[in-house]
């Protein structure tokens, strides 16, 4: 049971990474002329990424409580910091690092509280 739960959480985080990549395409699209071939390509990539995310999200919430899945969604901010540095050479400041640590700590604290509550009455195993 626990191994299955960990696999689902890993899948959730990979899915959130995919979701955060739509931001990369959005920023790239903003830097090219409207309705140019590149713009349309980036826009198509955004729609594709969000489509994959939407289908994946439905599968995740079948396997996890919605509160657990949604609380993990904050991790996309951390991915945004990483993608900004990797693709756009945006600086990673101490404030961003502190913010990322707070987000991760919040997700971990919620996950621990959720696990210790025993999830009585939950049909998500």
Q: Where exactly are the structural domains of the chain?
A: 2-116
4-16: average pLDDT: 90
Q: Which residue has the higher pLDDT, 16 or 110?
A: 16
pLDDT given for residue 30 in this prediction: 93
Tell me the whole-structure pTM to 2 decimals.
Answer: 0.76
Helix axes 2-30, 37-63, angle to 10 degrees: 160
The alpha carbon of 31 is separated from its chain's Cα centroid by a whole number of angstroms, namely: 24
Say how far apart CA 93 and CA 97 lie, in whole Å.
6
pLDDT given for residue 120 in this prediction: 47
Say how far apart CA 45 and CA 51 lie, in whole Å.
10
Per residue in 40-71, pLDDT tens?
A: 999 999 999 999 999 999 999 998 888 888 88
pLDDT given for residue 96 in this prediction: 94
pLDDT given for residue 83 in this prediction: 93
Residue closest to 83 by CA, chosen among 96, 73, 70: 96
């Amino acid at each position: 049971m626990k191994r299955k739960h960990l696999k689902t959480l890993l899948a959730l985080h990979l899915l959130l990474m995919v979701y955060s990549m739509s931001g990369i395409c959005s920023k790239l699209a903003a830097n090219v002329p409207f309705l140019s071939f590149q713009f349309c390509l980036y826009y198509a990539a955004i729609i594709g990424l969000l489509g994959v995310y939407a289908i994946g999200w439905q599968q995740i919430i079948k396997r996890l409580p919605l509160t657990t899945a949604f609380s993990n969604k904050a991790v996309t901010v951390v991915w945004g910091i990483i993608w900004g540095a990797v693709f756009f050479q945006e600086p990673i400041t101490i404030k961003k690092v502190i913010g990322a640590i707070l987000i991760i700590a919040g997700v971990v604290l919620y996950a621990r509280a959720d696990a210790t509550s025993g999830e009585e009455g939950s049909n998500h195993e």
